[in-house]
Every structure is written in C-alpha cells, then in structure tokens.
Amino acid sequence: MLVDQRSGARKIVRSKAVVVMDGMPPMQGRTLDINGSGLSLTFDHKLAAGDVGMVSFELFVEGKAQVLSCRSRVNYCIFSGDHFKIGFQFMNPDMATMATINKFLR
C-alpha cells in the first residue's frame, strides 16, 4: 500500500523545471504541483529516494514569471505511464524563495 507522505495543501503548477542532481548533468522536467515544503514533477529519468540536488522551476506570481531554485531531496519516484513522477522535499529554502512560494499558494 502506498502512503501519501505529502503535508499541507497542494496547488497545481505546470511549468518547466531543471533538475541537477549531485554528480549528474542538468535534466529537464515538468512541474505538477507544489506546497510549502516540496514539489512534484514528471521526469524521464528514475531517481532514488534520498537523492539530493538542485531543482529550479518557474512560478507566475502577481503576473510575473519568477525562477526559483532550491536544494531538494527525492521523497519518492513512481513510474507513471511513460515517465516518472518524482516528489521533492525542499531543504532549507531561503526566505525569498519561501516568500515567493507562499505568495503563489495564496
């Protein structure tokens, strides 16, 4: 049985993402949803739970596109159709990043 480990309300967000896992080249993904503690996205590559890297993604806040980057840890990786659905947990995001995410979530 799969247990949903996400906490807090999620908001759908569809944008490009760039994932740079430690020791790997940058790879493209697409965001699915976000909350104050993490983000899920679709990805062509499998990642292992516990992998750490930098996730950059775009949010539209107050009519402006803002690119955010945050060090993140893989919580889960599920094969879904023709891609992987990966859940990332933010690791110590800075105040500006959290402020932007919280504005988006309102």
- In order of start, what are the domains of the chain with their CATH numbers? 11-105 (2.40.10.220)
Nearest to 11 by CA among 33, 38, 42: 33
Q: According to the model, what pLDDT value does residue 97 have?
A: 95
Q: According to the model, what pLDDT value does residue 92 have?
A: 94
Collect the ranges in the chain with pLDDT lower than 70: 1-8
pTM of structure? 0.88
Q: According to the model, what pLDDT value does residue 10 have?
A: 87
Q: According to the model, what pLDDT value does residue 26 have?
A: 97
Q: According to the model, what pLDDT value does residue 3 have?
A: 40
The DSSP code sequence of 15-76 is: -EEEEEETTS--EEEEEEEEETTEEEEEESS---TT-EEEEEEEEEETTEEEEEEEEEEEEE
Report the alpha-carbon distance of residue 105 to residue 51 in Å, rounded. 26
User: Longest Cα pair distance anywhere in the chain, in angstroms?
Assistant: 41
